Amino acid sequence: MPEIPPLKTAVLLSGNGTTLQNLIDRRAALPIDIQLVVASRADAYGLVRAKNAGIATALVESKNFRRGAGAPDWSAMGAALDAVLLPRRFDLICLAGFMCFYPLPPALRGKVINIHPALLPAFGGRGMYGRRVHEAVKNSGATTSGCTVHYVTNDYDAGPIIWQASCAVSPTDTADDIAHKVFQLECEAYPAAIKIFAEKLAGGAVLELRV
């Protein structure tokens, strides 16, 4: 196995930044150099976590890209994200609780990954994020849940799967109980997937995705 140089990495988030903190806490053992954190909200606590860790930050607020009172203009927001990300030529972009749709430009195909709090393809797709996912799992009567790390494409939660981890769900579990179990899995799954991504890149593999 060739030595894996640190990947020039950006993290995109919208909220508390617990996934970011997990990556920060483990970065000494990961082949990543987190150089930038981009938030879609000015009040995202993930920005504080980044600054505490000495990581540069940028703000691309989703509220600035709304069509009046309607849905966000993801194309316009995507162009703003491109302006921040593309000049820096990141090797890897990790979505970590990023609650916005980022239409990927061709230059980022195969370079963006996400973690979803369910076993895709179940409980995925547009509008399925955060607590909504765990409530759907609970209401379905499923006896298993988990998390999925996957490549990002321009279809919600549809990119190739890199890593999955599962846990049992009991009839007495609440949505919060499921969320806790799944987050414990996420703390291990995202680092594992990043290592796989880095190993493939070091080995010369290039993933061609249709986005």
Per the structure block, which two tokens stand in for 194?
């990043």
Tell me which CATH code domain 1-108 carries: 3.40.50.170
| Sequence-separated (6 or more) residues with CB below 8 Å from residue 87 | none
Q: Residue 168 pairs with which residues in a beta bridge? A: 144
pLDDT tens sequence for the chain (211 residues)? 456 789 999 999 999 999 999 999 999 999 999 999 999 999 999 999 999 999 999 999 999 998 766 778 999 999 999 999 999 999 999 999 999 999 999 999 999 999 999 999 999 998 898 899 999 999 999 999 999 999 999 999 999 999 999 999 999 999 999 999 999 999 999 999 999 999 988 876 655 555 4
CATH tag for 115-203 (out of 1.25.40.10, 3.30.950.10, 2.60.40.10, 3.40.50.170): 3.40.50.170
Tokens of 10: 């950006």
Dihedral pair phi/psi, residue 148, rounded to 5°: -135, 130
CA distance 211 to 202: 23
Do 85 and 10 contact (CB within 8 A), yes or no? yes
For the chain, the domains span: 1-108, 115-203
Q: How many helices (H) and strands (E) does the chain have?
A: 5, 7
Same fold, 1-108 and 115-203: yes
Number of other residues whose CB lies within 10 A of the CB of residue 67: 9
- Helix extents (H) in 53-97: 74-85
Active-site annotation, residues: 116
Gap between the Cα atoms of 103 and 188, Å rounded:
28
pTM: 0.92
Measured distance CA(86)–CA(67) in Å, rounded: 25
